[in-house]
Amino acid sequence: MNTPKVSIRALSKRFEGASVNALQQIDLDIAANEFVTFVGASGCGKSTLLRTIGGLETHSSGELLVDGRPVTGPDVDRAMVFQHYSLYPWMSVIENIRFCRQLAAHTRQRSSADVEAASGRADALLRLMGLEASAQAWPNQLSGGMQQRVAIARALMGRPGMLLMDEPFGALDAQTREVMHDLIRHVHRLEKATIVFVTHDVEEAIYLGGRVVLMAPRPGRIDTIYEVPFGDRRDQDLKHAPEFLRLKREILERIRETSGMKTDLEQLQRLSGLAESA
Ligand SMILES: Nc1ncnc2c1ncn2[C@@H]1O[C@H](COP(=O)(O)OP(=O)(O)OP(=O)(O)O)[C@@H](O)[C@H]1O
């Protein structure tokens, strides 16, 4: 078997002063070029796991390898995209996209000729993300969806092997999200990056992922991994197909069970029944 892009073994993480592990005994392999999505109740450790893979958090025990090597910190090969666009407001769209390359040139002592050569890449990304007409615009002149396209283009500029995305479409309206879903699937096919994607939205997780990893809280752990049986051919109609809706219901139900919300609701129903009979 090929070396997985990410290999996680018995990984645990406890934040200082916490009484319970944020991550408990996580075991997971992610293959190169896979698109894997993470869902789960609030506080189940999705972001912590993503940030740990990104090298922004350390783990307390266990093993985390990317390309067979231990993760010791952030790396340009693992680009992150967050919910908030984090663009530089004083730079135009094209300057924001090129910025990462300039930084790489600086840190790796590259020549300015290398940076010039990257212009072709920046232009290609502008086209890929449908941003040609906005190249000279300032971030505050763009809609949320357009700003997130810039953030994704910037993340792709250094040709990362992995994109780590933490609720990247969480702040967008429903129509814009649909457009972004198809765009990110296109990016995945074209760029051949491994994508790890955290979301609260089960429909989004199924539509995008080859696998959906469901995590449970207190302690944060992997509960169930769902293989998504729809292959590569997906379009928006799929979201209304009976098999899609069945899987969505199954995952939502499991999230309710693992979060304890179901028990709370049942208790509430019992209590309201008692109140009525009193
Ligand atoms: N920097 C931190 N210091 C202490 N505890 C933290 C820190 N970051 C996260 N936690 C705790 O770790 C647990 C997992 O948090 P995390 O943000 O990873 O969950 P999540 O599944 O991404 O949640 P959400 O869906 O609400 O964003 C939570 O109990 C959270 O309070």
pLDDT values of the chain reduced to their tens digit, one per residue, 278 residues = 578 999 999 999 999 999 999 999 999 999 999 999 999 999 999 999 999 999 999 999 999 999 999 999 999 899 999 888 689 999 999 999 988 655 554 455 555 666 565 678 899 999 989 999 999 999 999 999 999 999 999 999 989 999 999 999 998 999 999 999 999 999 999 989 999 999 999 999 999 999 999 999 999 999 999 999 999 879 999 999 999 999 999 999 999 999 876 666 666 677 777 666 65
Select from 86, 34, 25 the least CA-distant residue to 197. 34
pLDDT at 84 (0 to 100): 83
23 lines ligand 1 (CB under 6 A): no
Predicted confidence at residue 260, as pLDDT, reads: 76
| Residue 99 confidence (pLDDT) | 82
pLDDT at 105: 47
Give the pLDDT score at 263. Answer: 60
154 Cβ inside 6 Å of ligand 1: no
- Cα separation of 166 and 204, whole Å? 13
Residue 101's contacts (CB-CB under 8 Å, 6 or more residues apart) are 115, 118, 121, 122, 157, 158
Class of domain 6-77+160-272: alpha beta
Q: Which residues pair with 26 in a beta bridge?
A: 11
Instruction: Decide if 195 contacts 212 (C-beta within 8 A).
Output: no
Domain positions in the chain: 6-77+160-272, 89-159
Distances, alpha carbon 49 to alpha carbons 124, 128, 170, in Å: 32, 29, 18
Structure tokens at 113: 């000729």
Q: How many angstroms separate the alpha carbon of residue 205 from the centre of ligand 1?
A: 20
**Eight-class DSSP state of 60:** S
Written as one letter, the residue type at 95 is E
- Pocket test of ligand 1: the residue of 11, 15, 19, 59 to mutate, having most ligand atoms within 8 Å of its CB, is 15
Report which protein residue has its CA nearest ligand 1's atom 23.
43
* pLDDT for res 275: 65
Ligand 1 geometric centre to CA of 33 (Å): 27
- Look at strands 194-198 and 162-166 and give their pairing: parallel
Please state the separation of Cα 250 from the chain's center in Å.
22
- pLDDT at position 277, please? 63
The contacts of residue 23 (CB under 8 Å, 6+ apart) are 11, 12, 13, 45, 48, 49, 52, 59, 219, 220, 221
Q: Report whether residue 221 contacts ligand 1, using a CB cutoff of 6 Å.
A: no
Phi, psi values for residue 256, rounded to 5°: -60, -45
pTM, full prediction: 0.89
Q: For residues 128 and 186, what is the distance between their CA atoms, to the nearest angstrom?
A: 9
pLDDT, tens digit, 9 for 90 and up, residues 140-199? 999 999 999 999 999 999 899 999 999 999 989 999 999 999 999 999 999 899 999 999
